Amino acid sequence: MDFFLLGAIIIGCSSVILFAMRRYFSPRGTKLPKLPETWWTPGTESSVNNDIRPFKVTFTEEVIKDLKYRLNHTRPLTPPLKDVAWTYGTNTDALRKFLDHWSNNYNFEERERYINQYSHFKTNIQGLDIHFIHVKPSTTEGKRVLPLLIVHGWPGSIIEFYKIIPFLTSPKPEYDFIFEVVAPSLPGFGFSSAATIPELSALQMSVVLKNLMLRLGHDKYYVQGGDWGASVIHTMSCLYPQHVLGMHSNLCTVFSKWTLLSSELKSALRLPSFLPWAKTKKAPGFGLLAETGYYHIQATKPDTVGVGLNDSPAGLAAYIIEKFSTGTNPSYKKRADGGFLEKFTYDELIDNLMIYWVSNSITTAMRIYAELYTKSNRSLSALLESTPIKVPSACAQFPHEIMEQDPSKLRERFVNLLRATKMPRGGHFAAFEEPELLADDIWNSVDEMEKWNKKHRETVICEQERSKL
């Protein structure tokens, strides 16, 4: 058979299959779910109140003494193989230096003051004591104050936002607004309490954070996030456009059934390499697969691995700093020092570890992975992934992020995507690595969203109300 005729037949067949499957898998008239206001600690309903209470992070003498004892009595670390750098995971030569700094050079009193430089609070939402930082601009200079909810992920914490907050709460002459920042610890993370029953995934956390903003008196606000924080704000933007004025994400993704299926079909139906015009490509996704073993563990057995991480500060450090190495730049795993000191200091990374260590929260934080894969949450996630997000949206795409999708693909989900910015540098922990770069993109994006809302916001709200019918 003629090669060109064979190619035409393959292309024709694949087009028909893709068209048919798209019609089958695309949502048609799907009614948006209404997530319940679940009480996540049954039995405490009558013993809590709605007060907003000041909170202070404290490194007690007892905690410091115990931590130093554990660090100083860490069993001998297994030496790395010759020339493997971080390709086998955390390089123990680099880890030894890190642990020495934590034990001997980390100034606990000074870092405690650093962490408490912003105002911390707690309030009970749906049975959970939610911890959050609340930073208002010191001067508004006649500018409009826009509430901005910023949400972290794993293995990060509120510490990720310490360097970006001043860039968001200081006036810029070119804008007529300024931000008031609310940065919560996700339920089960840090000083936010954990659920005592299953099913509290990032999806349900969107309800909790929506209610937190309402508790603070913010009926309308902007949202920003990366990692799991991106998942939370995507869900909030989908379900609560009457509250969300706009969404800025540094991990925009589209994982609808159709998107996944079409990718697989296109891969399966890729023209055979013997055709004259076909190009050979490396197997896709191997890099992502190689770096997500932790994801499978935490999505299936978080409590098992949590025992060791809760008990050993060396183990906790090894597990988490490896993510800050490779997540910042995948090429760093080829460096013996892990490269993380290019963007972070020892103290900054240890601040993040201290949030997990002092609160004893690594296990409950890792459960966010497992909760997404319960039977009911898998179905709910699939529905939400296939539901368009209509609030004005912006995506900051950092070159060393764990994955990136083309803006044309993103618009299948973020239908009012105003910006998709290719950032000049940075990786997965954008606010922590490149606070000024990310802040500038947030300012620019919100400025465009404000203009867009003046023309189109009522249309979005009306469409949301019709979807409930």
Number of structural domains (the chain) is: 1
Long-range contacts of 458-466 (CB under 8 A, 24+ apart): 460/241, 460/390, 460/391, 460/416, 461/241, 461/242, 463/390, 464/32, 464/241, 464/242, 464/390
CATH number for the domain spanning 257: value is: 3.40.50.1820
Segment 435-450 shows an average pLDDT of 98
The answer to which of 127-131, 156-160, 199-203, 259-263 has the lowest mean pLDDT is 259-263
pLDDT of residue 17: 43
pLDDT tens-digit profile of 299-312?
999 999 999 999 99
The answer to which of 91-95, 266-270, 318-322 has the lowest mean pLDDT is 266-270
pLDDT of 235 higher than 80:
yes
* Backbone angles phi and psi of 350, in degrees to 5: -70, -35
**Cβ 245 vs Cβ 222: under 8 Å:** yes
Residue 188 covered by a domain:
yes
Residue 69 covered by a domain:
yes
pLDDT of residue 459: 80
Which of the residues 129, 227, 351, 441 is marked catalytic?
227
Cis peptide before 155 (omega within 30 of 0): yes
pLDDT of 277 higher than 90:
no
Residue 369 is among the residues annotated as catalytic for this protein: yes
pLDDT of residue 279: 40
pLDDT of 257 higher than 70:
no
pLDDT of residue 457: 85
Which of the residues 162, 240, 332, 369 is marked catalytic?
369
DSSP assignments along 394-463, one per residue: EEEE-TBSS----HHHHTTTBTTEEEEEE-SS-BS-HHHH-HHHHHHHHHHHHHHHHHHHHHHHHHHHHH
Residue 272 covered by a domain:
no
- Report the percent of the chain where pLDDT is more than 90: 81
Contacts of residue 186, Cβ cutoff 8 Å, sequence gap at least 6 = 151, 152, 153, 192, 202, 205, 228, 229, 232, 365, 368
pLDDT of residue 271: 43
3-class DSSP state of 214 = helix
pLDDT tens-digit profile of 36-90?
999 999 999 999 999 999 999 999 999 999 999 999 999 999 999 999 999 999 9
Q: Which residues are registered as beta bridge partners of 130?
A: 123
pLDDT of residue 33: 84
Which of the residues 120, 152, 243, 428 is marked catalytic?
428
Task: Name the average pLDDT for the chain.
Answer: 89
pLDDT of residue 366: 98
pLDDT of 335 higher than 80:
yes
Angle of CA points 156, 161, 164, to nearest 5°: 145
pLDDT of 441 higher than 90:
yes
Residue 74 covered by a domain:
yes
Residue 354 covered by a domain:
yes
pLDDT of 397 higher than 70:
yes
Torsion sign across C-alpha atoms 148, 113, 348, 157: negative
Q: Report the alpha-carbon distance of residue 347 to residue 216 in Å, rounded.
A: 32
pLDDT of residue 406: 96
* Backbone angles phi and psi of 367, in degrees to 5: -65, -15
**Residue numbers of the domain that contains 70:** 55-267+286-465
Q: Report the alpha-carbon distance of residue 66 to residue 364 in Å, rounded.
A: 21
Segment 362-385 shows an average pLDDT of 97
Banded model confidence at residue 468, pLDDT cuts 50, 70, 90: low
Banded model confidence at residue 466, pLDDT cuts 50, 70, 90: low
pLDDT tens-digit profile of 418-436?
999 999 999 999 999 999 9
DSSP strand pairing (244-249 vs 393-397): parallel
Residue 10 covered by a domain:
no
Residue 412 covered by a domain:
yes
pLDDT of residue 101: 98
Residue 3 covered by a domain:
no
pLDDT of residue 289: 78
Q: Report the alpha-carbon distance of residue 327 to residue 330 in Å, rounded.
A: 6
Q: Report the alpha-carbon distance of residue 42 to residue 168 in Å, rounded.
A: 38
- Report the percent of the chain where pLDDT is more than 70: 85
Residue 346 is among the residues annotated as catalytic for this protein: no
pLDDT of residue 460: 75
Q: Report the alpha-carbon distance of residue 17 to residue 189 in Å, rounded.
A: 45
Contacts of residue 314, Cβ cutoff 8 Å, sequence gap at least 6 = 70, 71, 74, 77, 95, 99
pLDDT of residue 259: 54
